[in-house]
Chains A and B, each alone.
Chain A
Amino acid sequence: MGRYICKRLLQAILVIFLISVFSYFLMYLVPGDPVYAVLGSDITREQYMEQFYLMELDKPIIIRYVHWLTRFLTGDFGTSYRYSVPVSELLAQRLPITMYLGIISLVISVILGVLCGTICGTNRGKAADNILTVLANLGSVVPGFWLAVVGMYIFSMNLGWLPSYGFAFPWEGAGVAASLKQTIMPVVCLSVGSIAGLTRQMRSGMLEVIRQDYIRTARSKGLKESTVVVHHAMKNAIIPVVTIIGLSLRNIVSGAVTIETVFSITGMGSLLVNSILARDLPVIQACILIIAGMVAISNLVVDICYGYLDPRIRIQ
């Protein structure tokens, strides 16, 4: 297992390296002069030349890449063109917010998704299954921002229970209660889609597993139905669900631009989209690499989970 993890880790590093190459070269692939991209076209000749040498544009691109990479590895991600502050500072503001919301949403989705899916799968065709399946189908087609707008209309504007915008951590000034109130709606909107997706996957996994021979064996032992489901069926049924959870781990760092926009939360999603629109290349590069790193890590985590859940994979 240890060797296997090492191998996968090396692969992940290789992938991240390649992505760093692509994202750096991106800067020079987009049409237009990089100097104008930084300073705008309304500059003097001296300003242009100063920036030209600052960006080492007189040196070969490989050298520039190596310099950029060394700086990147030491935590210097460059300076945002748009905000004129170090990218690291921007990330330090945005990333924690997105991750905080993302992790809460992930935990809720996994717990509720697996639970609902198991209930559906073990009660096929009964009322509980039918209701939950309809809800799951609805949940996976309703866009999060629509829920956000409707939620805001009902709970903020009509009932006035929840604030309609903004976000602060519980340990910041406004206090725990206020922060919690601000968190509820964004988290719900972020989670509904993935709860629905996980429910559907868990349901079909459960239906598949429950008709296997080893479930019949477990029942023929005289085990209680709940023991059969929890001890014998779930561990098997959850294997395909892990894949989906792995895919959604990325959302922890990438954020959701629509929901952030609706609730005026300054998260990673809006940062990335705005930077793309403004061609703020240092920020884009940093975001791409963070997301790529997260994808690589989540793939690794998924593989380790597979190994834990399914001993047949562990041996290979």
Chain B
Amino acid sequence: MEHFWEINKLSVSYKTMDGMTKAVDQVSLYVDRGETIGIVGESGSGKSQTQLAALQLIPVPPGRIDEGEVLLSGRNLLSFSRKSREMREVRGGQIGMIFQEPMTSLNPVKTIGAQIMESITLHRGLAKEQARKEAVALLEKVGILDAESRLSDYPHQFSGGMRQRIMIAIALAGDPEMIIADEPTTALDVTTQAQILELLHQLSVEKHIALVLITHNLGIVARYASRIYVMYAGNVVETGTAEEIFHQPVHPYTKGLLKAVPRLDSEDERLTPIDGVPPSPANRQKGCQFAPRCRYATEACLDGGIPPMQEIAPGHFAACHLSSVRQTAATAEQEKQENKKPKPAPGEEAVLRAEDLCVSFAVRKGLLMRESGRLEVLRNVNFTLHKGETLGLVGESGCGKTTTAKAVLKLLNEATGKVWLGDQDLLAMPERTFKKQRRRIQMIFQDPYSSLDPRMTAGGIVGEPLFPYGLVKTRQEYDKRVDELFRLVGLEPSMRDRVAHEFSGGQRQRIGIARALATNPDILICDEPISALDVSIQAQIINLLEDLQEELGLSYLFVAHDLSVVKHISHRVAVMYLGTIVEITSSRDLYLDPLHPYTRALMQAVPIPDPSAEKQREQVILGGEVPSILRRPEGCPFSNRCSHATDLCRKEQPQPKEVKEKHFVACHLY
């Protein structure tokens, strides 16, 4: 049968300093008309490169298409040159593309109208006036209000979600038969992500457009894709229907990936990380690319060349030397044992308490910069962190979660209220006294690439606080302590003299954790500690944090936007919206019985990596976007998006109430 879009044995390599590196290696896949497929893989797996190369959009040189065919309705696109008319008609005409970063994917100096109309006039040959009408219709279709007048606006005047809608409008402008969406929602908030995915899904059904979803997020493809390709290090390692991939995965990498991702609907079992790091395109293995990280790897896997695709069931293929039977029951049993370790219960003693924590910045105007108003970033935030407990702080961008973390650390002069560390108020304390206390409360940062000094050795970074705090007296003690810290976070002490760029992302985050632990803190503030890491690495860091908590009795304030991760790691979770905590309760309770309408919407927006669970879930997608803090509604901050909002909600801000035992909600409904 002829498929609409078929890639056969496509190989792409790049010329780098170390010679030619294979980015895509013999990848084959197909899409039928009107079908939605998912391509899943981590960074460097070649998932985007395959599609870009198929459309000849990779830069040549340094890139090069070594071999393969790309058939569009049976016509081999690679037989046309990169800049040929045929190729240009396919791009944007038959195939539209949507990219990851809506912030940078639109030209900042051209109006969005011009950018949409350009495609319409090019591919449909319409005159300017008609193209304009068509652009308005497209913008309305993708959900941009006031489309007519917004045509002459520039991209920076739109929010991230709106820009992604504009990207979709551009992709639709040429009336395509297929849309390739390359991580279309990775940079977006979770409720916006749900809106964008739903929009793409509806459009593909309505216009019978084939949709290729490229993503690292298994949850997204579980909800929408009918077939899935799993890619690893430039190869497709497994392909099948969504049900097959999620319920009967065969390849150890697919299995590992499914276990490494915390699920919203699972009990707090320990995650099973995939050991090691994904290989970079520069150092590909001889045999199976996954073999060095595979629990089941044998000699044959390491030297036997890249395993061929084997048909497991009709349409279900996997590239593995081992049949699924060989992966013994014993190992599975052992895994179960490992996983069943329950999370230790936290103590009763409060180590950190925020009381009416507020942060507001002065808004200054005019020539004399007189204060014209105050921008309230945090409004009366209250929470208590107990000894050995993890308190998750979750919310979408701009909700004030990072501001809370900074305020607690006394990094913001604008913070008012009280932060009790034991029985001392940190905010009232003069800086000099606080210096001694700072040892007790440390921070782990989001970006392991920019938060480590590139010119310092790893050992130097980790050991830096030791002498100033008087934690070590002599050089020997110092060396001993640094080695100890390295071992604590699972790094070889012999790596001490390396500098940051010699480490992988996961290792760098370990260095960041070791640095935070150097002062023997009681509390760690983790600000999105895993969001910059690859999926298979995230589980390693989550497990490390859990182990350290058990071993050292640490308390964590865990700030993140990913609800599944927060729910997994936390004992209790606080949900934030526009600078206030709207709900705070145990993580189990939060999943089973979310009370605040925002929490419910957030829960529904988080995709679950399980197609059958996804089908059973009710789908109510929260409309609108998180407003800017400058335009916070009167009364309840959520009132303008809430379907239950009453006049009372719009007038008066609800105070937190204990609705059930230890379950606090700030909502007028309760």
Binding site for B on A (CB under 8 A): 125, 211-214, 216-225, 231-232, 235-236, 309-312, 315
**In the complex, residue of chain B having the shortest beta-carbon distance to the beta carbon of A238:** B109
Q: Does B170 contact A (CB under 8 A)?
A: yes
List the 10 closest A-B pairs by CB distance, nearest first: A222-B92, A222-B91, A221-B92, A220-B97, A222-B88, A311-B154, A213-B104, A214-B107, A213-B105, A221-B119
- 5 A-B residue pairings within 8 Å (CB atoms): A214-B108, A217-B107, A222-B122, A312-B154, A315-B157
Q: A309-B109, A310-B109 known; 17 other A-B pairs, CB under 8 Å?
A: A125-B61, A214-B105, A214-B106, A217-B97, A217-B107, A219-B57, A219-B91, A221-B92, A221-B118, A222-B88, A222-B92, A223-B118, A231-B118, A311-B154, A312-B108, A312-B156, A315-B156
Binding site for A on B (CB under 8 A): 55, 57, 59, 61, 83, 87-93, 96-97, 99, 101, 104-110, 118-119, 122-123, 154, 156-157, 167, 170, 173-174
> How far does the alpha carbon of A221 sit from the alpha carbon of B88 in the complex, in Å?
8
Tally of A-B Cβ pairs under 8 angstroms: 79
**In the complex, residue of chain B having the shortest beta-carbon distance to the beta carbon of A214:** B107
* Given known A-B contacts A213-B101, A217-B167, A221-B174, A310 and B108 have beta carbons under 8 A apart: yes
Contacts of A221 in B (CB 8 A): 91-92, 118-119, 122, 170, 173-174
Q: How far in angstroms is the closest Cβ of chain A from B56?
A: 9
Contacts of B97 in A (CB 8 A): 217, 220
Q: How far in angstroms is the closest Cβ of chain A from B403?
A: 23
Select A214's contact among B57, B104, B119, beta carbons within 8 Å.
Answer: B104
Interface of A: prevailing SS: helix
Asked if A220 contacts B91 (CB within 8 A), the reply is yes
Contacts of B55 in A (CB 8 A): 220
**In the complex, residue of chain A having the shortest beta-carbon distance to the beta carbon of B173:** A221
Contacts of B167 in A (CB 8 A): 217
Asked if A217 contacts B110 (CB within 8 A), the reply is no
> How far does the alpha carbon of A144 sit from the alpha carbon of B246 in the complex, in Å?
71
Select A216's contact among B87, B88, B105, B118, beta carbons within 8 Å.
Answer: B105
Q: How far in angstroms is the closest Cβ of chain B from A152?
A: 44
**In the complex, residue of chain A having the shortest beta-carbon distance to the beta carbon of B157:** A315
> How far does the alpha carbon of A305 sit from the alpha carbon of B110 in the complex, in Å?
15
Asked if B122 contacts A218 (CB within 8 A), the reply is no
Q: How far in angstroms is the closest Cβ of chain B from A315?
A: 8
Asked if A222 contacts B109 (CB within 8 A), the reply is no
Q: How far in angstroms is the closest Cβ of chain B from A20?
A: 23
Asked if B154 contacts A220 (CB within 8 A), the reply is no
Contacts of B123 in A (CB 8 A): 222
> How far does the alpha carbon of A312 sit from the alpha carbon of B97 in the complex, in Å?
25
Contacts of A236 in B (CB 8 A): 107-109
Contacts of B59 in A (CB 8 A): 211
> How far does the alpha carbon of A95 sit from the alpha carbon of B390 in the complex, in Å?
75
**In the complex, residue of chain A having the shortest beta-carbon distance to the beta carbon of B91:** A222
**In the complex, residue of chain B having the shortest beta-carbon distance to the beta carbon of A217:** B105
**In the complex, residue of chain B having the shortest beta-carbon distance to the beta carbon of A311:** B154
Asked if A311 contacts B108 (CB within 8 A), the reply is yes
* Given known A-B contacts A223-B118, A223-B122, A217 and B106 have beta carbons under 8 A apart: yes
* Given known A-B contacts A213-B99, A213-B101, A311-B154, A220 and B92 have beta carbons under 8 A apart: yes
* Given known A-B contacts A213-B99, A223-B88, A225-B83, A235 and B122 have beta carbons under 8 A apart: no
